[in-house]
A and B are shown apart, each in its own frame.
Chain A
Amino acid sequence: MLFNSLEFTIFLPVVFTIYWVLQKSKLKYQNFWILASSYFFYGWWDWRFLGLILFSTLVDYFAAKSISSSNGNNRKLYLWLSICVNLGFLGFFKYFNFFIDSLKNSVLFFGGELDVATLEIVLPVGISFYTFQTLSYTIDVYRGKIKPTDDFIAFAAFVSFFPQLVAGPIERASNLLPQFFTKRTFSYSLAIDGLRQILWGLFKKMVIADNCATFANLIFNNSDDYSGSTLFVGAMFFAFQIYGDFSGYSDIAIGTARLFGFNLMKNFAFPYFSRDIAEFWRRWHISLSTWFRDYLYIPLGGSKVGSITKIRNVFIIFIVSGFWHGANWTFIVWGALNALFFIPLLVLNRNRKNLDFDEHQNVWIYLKNLFNRVLTFILVTIAWVFFRAESIDHALNYLKSMFTKALFTSLDSKILEDSTVLFYLISIFILLEWVGRKNEYALEKLGMSWPMLIRWSFYGLIIFSIGMFMVTEETPFIYFQF
């Protein structure tokens, strides 16, 4: 079920109403209702994969209990059981064909031939997200950071919590799980805040991302027909598409969770206003970046190692992160490219220079920051070409055609004419994000000091822009494929 579908607009109020009616009864009934609703939500897409979530949940539930009640090597054994089952599922459903194809190509490269059939495997939506979420639970229990739970319903609800089940934020058990054991009472301000965030998420997805997708798809799918400037704009459209799509999803997820009295972690913090790549990665897909930091980078030694090892660790993190996104070499190169952009900052020890948006009101600093922001955005956009392209060859040809003299010529007239309105919409979007950049999300405090009718009119205009500019074909969120 998609957040931007008619089904969800019926599903959400029904689940919300019954959930708060159950408020007066025991907490476990509310948790059970969340679990049932989440399974219904997921099963709407494909009920056959409910068994997979249930199995993964059972494995981690019992693995964590066993880790907690065992000593020595047995603890490690149960941890590895959880890791192997979870990564095994992920590996099979997501990477099986990739490995077979890569093996075939390697053998072919050395003059041999390998006859191994690939399988028609359907990727279960959200498998990368809930796998990482449950893994964090067993690892944290192993590390003694949290205690395992006896309440299976609450744990299963934590694993399958529908707002963030299919595309995150990837929650830590230490943040989300305790909320299932705390009495939740309806909070007016939290619910209103949630609705505001949902509205902003829908705007990002339905107005910005989906419209950008139309042009990004057109330009990327016919990249041989366009000149450098149009290709650059195509890459920019994709940059806004993926940001609007994924951060829009996160906003809707976080906002929806708030309606039910839950606080999910922040997943995006205005990444395109970053002044360097390191800052960008602290602001982009925060739940995944911090996951890799906590469960991969730090175990590898983190930053408390020598320079060479540190560089190696950064490469590992970025490449694994790229591979997490999809079974294609394009994602791996995308990760590696970001590592290349990141490493100079690490070597020069400037990777933690820009930590927040507190800026001095000095024109020169402002201009310098503006220049850095534009430069960072261009670097990120270049890397996105690999993320979006069908293959490495496609990406390289795209970039080769982009960086020619034609980069400074005028845009394709048809694209320019058709996308004029979108340029205006993106400009308004950037402006609103800039104004609200110090908050959790752009609309959080924007207009709070305005008279109510003006503020409501402003929200009404956002609703109108969704109604007027939304793309009418149903378009799934990009991150569903990961």
Chain B
Amino acid sequence: MMGRFILKLTAFLFFSFIIYTLTLILFGEYLPSEWNNNLNYKTASGGHALTRFREVKTVKSADVLIVGSSHAYRGFDPRIFSEYGYNSFFNLGSSSQTHLQTEVLLERYLKKLNPKLIIYEVYPGTFKADGIESSLDIIANDKNDFESFKLIFKHKHIKIVNSFIYGLYRDISGLNKGIKESKRKKGDEYIDGGYVQKKNKTFRNVSNSKKWWKVRDQQLDAFDGIIKSLKDMNIKFVLVQAPITSSFYQAHQNNDYFDSLMDSRGTYFNFNKLVELNDSIHFYDRHHLNQAGVNIFNKKLIQILKEKDMI
């Protein structure tokens, strides 16, 4: 009796999985987004992730590799590094990238790119995020492999499950190959090497209430795991907090705590303290630099890295 029950239940679960997958594909392909509550598969959306992940597959190596959130892909300009003679450069940042996704991307591309230096952009906000938005971004715009499968267990979230299954179907059927992403959209311009520039937009400052950075254990564990692997592999890395508007930065009451957390993990620079920027002129929102801000920040960064003999 019990044997029959288990056998039939297993067969049913297998059959249901097939029905589930087929229906998911039908919904994803033919129904509008309001019918896809828990399927969040947006290819070629904001941040040029599709173009960036396509480009990284064509790059043979990169002496300097950038990882991190939108502060990374909007904050480290390959053209400025090139001016200083560093032509082998790739920016692998992605929207809201937390350490759970950085783990995945390094697992995928680290060996191939074989960098001499990793600039790890550490925006404190990424330590408190659950990372679901960023995982969905990677699932929809990069390939789906065992690493993205592991994201299901890291997040335990139905949107990740559905998007992964649907993404796998899109990958296998090659449906994403025909998608073209314009290099210029919504005021953003994609620059080869993974960078997205925002040229002519400034920021009207707003007041900020008191805030505190919070750190989620899962993110800190993933971050520590990455640092350990880099150390084990003898890859040089530097932790960089890119500048945010001073009003937003100062609204946070525990910046020293975060600095000490990063200092204990490796060479760390907090550029909120190292460059002087104007909230209105050098930013386009409260925590993203515009091109004018990036120019100042990157030159200072290269200068410091040179002084420390890191590049």
Using a CB–CB distance below 8 Å, which chain A residues touch chain B? 6, 20, 186-188, 191-192, 195, 418, 420-421, 453, 456-457, 459-461, 463-464, 467-470, 472
Give the chain A neighbours of B24 by CB distance below 8 A.
Answer: 464, 467-468
Is the C-beta of B45 less than 8 angstroms from some C-beta in chain A?
no
Residue in chain B with minimal CB distance to A6: B156
Q: Which residues of B contact A472 (CB under 8 A)?
A: 38, 157-159
Are B20 and A464 within 8 A (Cβ)? yes
User: Is B162's CB within 8 Å of the partner chain A?
Assistant: yes
**With known contacts A459-B16, A463-B16, A188–B5 Cβ distance under 8 A:** yes
Give a binary string over B146-174; 1 marks a CB under 8 Å from any A CB, 0 the rest. Answer: 00000000001111011000000000000
Partner of A468, one of B2, B4, B37, B156: B37
Residues in B neighbouring A461, C-beta threshold 8 A: 19, 23
With A459-B12, A467-B158 known to touch, is A188 a contact of B4 (CB < 8 Å)? yes
Q: Is the interface of B mostly helix, strand, loop or mixed?
A: helix
Of the four ranges (under 10, 10 to 19, 20 to 34, 35 or more), the interface on chain B belongs to 20 to 34
Complex: A186 Cα to B36 Cα, angstroms: 40
Q: Is the CB of A467 within 8 A of B2?
A: no
Q: Find chain B residues with CB under 8 A from A460 CB.
A: 15-16, 18-20, 23
The total of Cβ contacts below 8 Å across the A-B interface reads 65
Tell me which of A6, A420, A467 contacts B162 (CB under 8 A). A467
B23 touches A186 (CB 8 A): no
- Distance in angstroms between the alpha carbons of A332 and B38 in the assembled complex: 39
Known contacts A6-B156, A188-B1, A459-B12; decide if A469 and B19 are in contact (CB<8 Å).
no
Partner of A191, one of B5, B15, B34, B38: B5
Residue of A nearest to B9 (CB): A195
CB distance from B230 to the nearest CB of A (A): 32
Residues of B within 8 A of A186 (CB): 1-2, 5
CB distance from B62 to the nearest CB of A (A): 36
B119 within 8 A of A: no
Chain B residue contacts of A470, Cβ below 8 A: 37-38, 158
- Complex contacts, A421 vs chain B, CB 8 Å: 34-35, 37
Chain A residues in 8 Å Cβ range of B9: 195
| 10 A-B pairs in the complex with CB atoms less than 8 angstroms apart | A418-B34, A421-B34, A460-B19, A463-B16, A463-B20, A467-B158, A468-B39, A469-B38, A472-B38, A472-B157
Q: Are B157 and A464 in contact (CB under 8 A)?
A: no
The chain B residue with its CB closest to the CB of A465 is: B23
Which 10 A-B pairs rank lowest in CB-CB distance, beginning with the nearest? A460-B19, A460-B16, A464-B23, A464-B20, A188-B1, A456-B15, A469-B37, A186-B1, A463-B16, A468-B38
